[in-house]
Amino acid sequence: MARGIEVAVTGMGVVSANGTSLAEFHAAQLGQVSGIGPLTRYKCGEDPVRIAGEVALPVEVMLDRRDQVRTDRCTHLAAAAAQLAVGDAGLVADPDTEGWLADPERTGVSIGSAIGGSESLENNYHAFVTSGPRALRSRAIPMSMTNDAAAWLAIRYGVTGPCIAVSTACASGADAIVAGHQMIAAGEADVVLAGGAEAPVVRSIVSGFAKMGALSMRNDEPGRASRPFSKDRDGFVIAEGAAVLVLESAEHSRTRGARTYAYLRGYGRSSDAHHVTMPHPRGLGAFQALRRALCSADAGPADVSMVNAHGTGTTLNDAAEAFAIRDALGAHADRVPITATKSLIGHSLGAAGAIEAVATVQALHNGAIPPTANLDDLDPEIDLDLVVGEARHLPVTLALSNSFAFGGHNVVLAFGAA
């Protein structure tokens, strides 16, 4: 185990395009329920991309209106996921008083986001350009800043341990979980709310990704648009969402009698040091992160039961990732089921690594690996055992979750059975 300390996952919360509770999310993965639909969060007219994975937040996890108007949707999503996670972990004693069952001074927060409050940034920038400085909202800065979700969670729960925001593009959520592990391993915290949140369904953001050619243009078949590892993949589908995991030192969780879903046994990270958006063509950085994750978890390729791939559905990512997995697992890759959560919920950038961590822990905990949707025609260049059609039910003892990002940030989380 990484750095000689056991870190348990004792609670999880997720709000994604195809589920806003753990049960709904897991069932949707197993049943291949797509969360991708026509984009509704702004009027997209004849824009080239008119589909997205949007979250329908249930009223019971929405902030009250007072807090909604003070924060960006990114924070709304993070708050919802955190509320579900702390409830799931049994950390809130009383829903009315929100009494905290852990020592607040020993509780940390680590939330990843690639771009933070992008809708607030866009709105304020528009007001500034059209009407001048006085038109800016007084909360223009805090609503836009990438660390608002993390700060807001600390304020809401009154926890005064380390509180950080991690921004490594599409690896942010996974990197934030690593940071949470490190807080516990370093002795700074016993409990950490770790995860990611993103609300990028904003016209300037979607248009920017479209301009790069990163997004699928399958506007007429939203549910079929996200096609990781498919021969005819044409880009990712942008999505919003959030997930928070309650990480806890195993000693602390045992003392308070908490249920443990899994252990975060290790992680591996690397930088491509290659290009700001293109992965290394052979997935060298991803390979290094995979190998480092195995080393960190004190495991070898034969110990790996499954991989939750980054699997965006872009031509370059999926090809490079397939090389990396093959190179890291060697011949054993023939027997390791691979799944790609993004096939059903799209790519929620800085939230993706955290949402997929939840999906991975659920697969591990329940012994059920969800299929990759829309994979009728596997790219012949992808030499991996992709789970297709039905979920695969088998014991999972070590599960890897990949996150690779613009900027060349590579993060692999290694979860082990409880």
Q: How many residues does the chain have?
A: 418
Closer Cβ to other proteins, 142 or 180, answer by number:
142
Q: Of the two residues 43 and 66, which places its CB atom closer to other proteins in the complex?
A: 66
Per CB under 8 A, 137 contacts other proteins: yes
Is 170 noted as a catalytic residue in this protein? Answer: yes
**Is 252 in the active site?**
no
Annotated catalytic residue, options 181, 347, 365, 409: 347
Q: Residues 142, 162, 279, 350: which binds other proteins (CB under 8 A)? A: 142
Q: Which residues contact 164 (CB under 8 A, 6 or more apart)?
A: 108, 109, 110, 111, 147, 150, 176, 179
- Around Cβ 187, how many Cβ atoms within 10 Å? 10
Q: Does 130 bind other proteins (CB under 8 A)?
A: no
Catalytic residue among 76, 170, 365, 409: 170
The region, left, alpha or beta by phi > 0 then psi within -120 to 50, assigned to residue 6 is beta
β pairing state of 107-112 and 368-369: unpaired
Residue reference for tokens 């012994």: 367
Nearer to other proteins, 46 or 64 (CB): 64
Minimal distance in Å, beta carbon 65 to other proteins? 4
Q: CA–CA separation, 275 vs 280, rounded Å? A: 8
What are residue 264's DSSP bridge partners?
Answer: 415
Q: Using the rule CB under 8 A, is 67 a contact of other proteins?
A: yes
Q: Which of 252, 280, 310, 365 is catalytic?
A: 310
**Using rule CB under 8 A, residue 256 touches other proteins:** no
Q: Which of residues 257-296 bind other proteins (CB under 8 A)?
A: none
Instruction: Establish if 134 lies at the interface with other proteins (CB under 8 A).
Output: yes
Ranges within 308-367 binding other proteins (CB under 8 A): none
| Cα–Cα distance measured from residue 413 to residue 175, given in angstroms and rounded to the nearest whole number | 9
Bridge partners, residue 242, by sequence: 15, 197
CB of 156 to other proteins, least distance (A): 15
- Annotated active-site residue 295? The verdict is no
Residue with Cβ nearer other proteins (116 or 195): 116
Binding to other proteins by residue 65, rule CB under 8 A?
Answer: yes
For residue 123, give both structure tokens. Answer: 């709105």
Q: Which residues between 80 and 119 bind other proteins (CB under 8 A)?
A: none
Cα→Cα distances 295→127, 265, 289, 321, Å = 51, 10, 10, 19
133 versus 257: smaller Cβ distance to other proteins: 133
Is residue 138 near other proteins by the rule CB under 8 A?
yes
- CA–CA separation, 258 and 14 (whole Å): 19
Select the residue interacting with other proteins from 64, 273, 276, 395 (CB under 8 A).
Answer: 64
Residues 6+ apart with CB under 8 A from 239: 16, 17, 35, 36, 52, 53, 54, 200, 201, 342, 345, 346, 347, 348
Is 186 an interacting residue with respect to other proteins (CB under 8 A)?
no
68 binds other proteins (CB under 8 A): yes
Planar angle of CA 117, 118, 122, nearest 5 degrees: 125
Residue type, 226: S
Options 31, 38, 58, 69; binder of other proteins; rule CB under 8 A? 69
Dist CA 394 CA 378 (whole Å)? 23
Asked if 43 touches other proteins (CB under 8 A), the answer is no
Minimum CB–partner distance for residue 163 and other proteins (Å): 20
Decide: helix, strand or coil at residue 262.
strand
CB neighbour list of residue 46: distance below 8 Å, 6 or more residues apart: none
Task: Tell me whether residue 64 or residue 96 sits nearer to other proteins (CB atom).
Answer: 64
* Interface with other proteins, residue 394, by CB under 8 A: no
Give contact residues for other proteins (rule: CB under 8 A): 64-70, 134, 137-139, 142
Tell me which residues are annotated as active site.
170, 310, 347
